[in-house]
Amino acid sequence: MNMIRKNAKCCILLLLGILFLINPVLAAFNIIRPGETVFIGEQGLDITLAMEGDTQIGWWASGASIMDSSPTSGSVSVSNPTSFSISRGTNTGVWYHINPSDKANGTAFNVADPQLSIIVEDTTVNVDVTDKWVPTDDELRFRIDSNLVPISQRTGVTAVPISFPITIKVQSPDGAVYTSLISKSGTKSIVDYPVTTTPQYTDSIWGTSYRDTYPPGTYTIWAECNVNSMKDYYDVAGKTISRKVSLLNQDQNPLIANKGYVTNPSTQITLVPTTKIITIATTTAPTTLKTPPPTTAVPTVLPETTVETVMPTTSLPTPTPTKSPGFEASIVVVAMIIGVVFLFKKQ
């Protein structure tokens, strides 16, 4: 009986120890001290320390005289400083806690718009393969870029290492979402991955050579941050959720040959024939095609060339044959001689 009680006490002490280690870390994310950065979408923040006893906060536009004017958009009452939320549309920049006279009484916190993105890198060949393809058997890692690092820099965070959690989502071609990945170095969880800086590089935690676990096909990858329920309230791509990227895992380069595994249909290109069809209009009368004359030089026609008028061709009369000059006179002379000779003979 004593042994049972002793073991029970040990279990209770162990459980309390675990709760003591976990609870301060989780609670520290929502405890805000003066001047610390908070993000749009965060819920349940404890800003008691940041308020320093005041019950209102205010924001001034750039260039405004903070000490001599009231808040640009009016003061905001804080009815419950232990559970304060940063709503959508909240002005980014410094917010001040103000006294009853609407005058700034000190810095409460700084509001920022969250930013989050993820990149996939092939560590086997040291290439960025985001939205590209990767040969099966290569090792992969992730690069996380974010402005959320100030969450881990809040005064009360006691985690070792000092970090904040980002969950990496990897969706298989059949729609399943992995919570851990296998590589040559073993199995690594990708849920609440600790981020300490930006950019944050993971180890080579994804080995595509495990074909039974990671069959060829297109994978979808993204990252999420849900610290203080910020994703639940501010579910916007590029903010608390990164833009979703793709990765084609297969043996063959889809740009060279489509052999073996079928590539993602979205990467295929359909070639459309570029033959141009010419339609020839037909006429009612048949057209006689003539052989085109050989190409010859075309004489250049100078301006102001006199063009002769060609008269219509008419039948001309047949010309009367002409007699030689003196033909008739010769006949008369011959006749006179004959007549004279005839008279002499008669006498």
- Chain segment 217-249, per-residue pLDDT in tens: 999 999 999 999 999 999 999 999 999 999 999
In whole angstroms, give the CA distance from residue 224 to residue 166: 6
In whole angstroms, give the CA distance from residue 241 to residue 165: 13
pLDDT grade for 13, boundaries at 50, 70 and 90 = very low
User: What is the reported pLDDT for 65?
Assistant: 87
User: What is the reported pLDDT for 193?
Assistant: 96
User: What is the reported pLDDT for 29?
Assistant: 93
DSSP notation for 221-236: EEEE--GGGHHHH---
User: What is the reported pLDDT for 101?
Assistant: 87
pLDDT grade for 36, boundaries at 50, 70 and 90 = very high
pTM of the model: 0.66
User: What is the reported pLDDT for 160?
Assistant: 76
User: What is the reported pLDDT for 273?
Assistant: 47
Cβ contact 93:37 at 8 Å: no
- Using the 8-state DSSP alphabet, how is residue 302 labeled? P
* SS3 (DSSP) at 146: strand
User: What is the reported pLDDT for 156?
Assistant: 81
**Where is pLDDT greater, at 27 or 344?**
344
CA dihedral sign of residues 120, 126, 129, 135:
negative
User: What is the reported pLDDT for 28?
Assistant: 80
Name the least confident of 37-51, 118-132, 173-187, 280-294: 280-294
User: What is the reported pLDDT for 247?
Assistant: 96
User: What is the reported pLDDT for 251?
Assistant: 79
What is the identity of the amino acid at 29? F
User: What is the reported pLDDT for 22?
Assistant: 40
pLDDT grade for 325, boundaries at 50, 70 and 90 = very low
Topology (CATH) of 116-257: Immunoglobulin-like (2.60.40)
Segment 181-224, tens digit of pLDDT: 999 999 999 999 999 999 999 999 999 999 999 999 999 999 99
Nearest to 153 by CA among 98, 106, 112, 119: 112
Contacts of 261 (CB under 8 A, 6+ apart): 216, 217, 250, 251, 252
The winner for highest mean pLDDT among 65-69, 311-315, 329-333 is: 65-69
User: What is the reported pLDDT for 283?
Assistant: 44
Q: What percent of the chain has pLDDT over 70?
A: 66
**Where is pLDDT greater, at 300 or 175?**
175
When pLDDT is averaged across residues 122-149 and rounded to a whole number, the result is: 96
The mean pLDDT of the chain is 78
pLDDT of residue 136 exceeding 70: yes
Segment 265-288, tens digit of pLDDT: 444 434 444 444 444 444 444 444
- In the sheet where 56-59 sits, what is the strand order? 37-39, 104-112, 93-98, 56-59, 76-77
What ranges do the domains of the chain cover? 17-112, 116-257
User: What is the reported pLDDT for 157?
Assistant: 85
pLDDT of residue 68 exceeding 60: yes
User: What is the reported pLDDT for 322?
Assistant: 42
In whole angstroms, give the CA distance from residue 343 to residue 339: 6
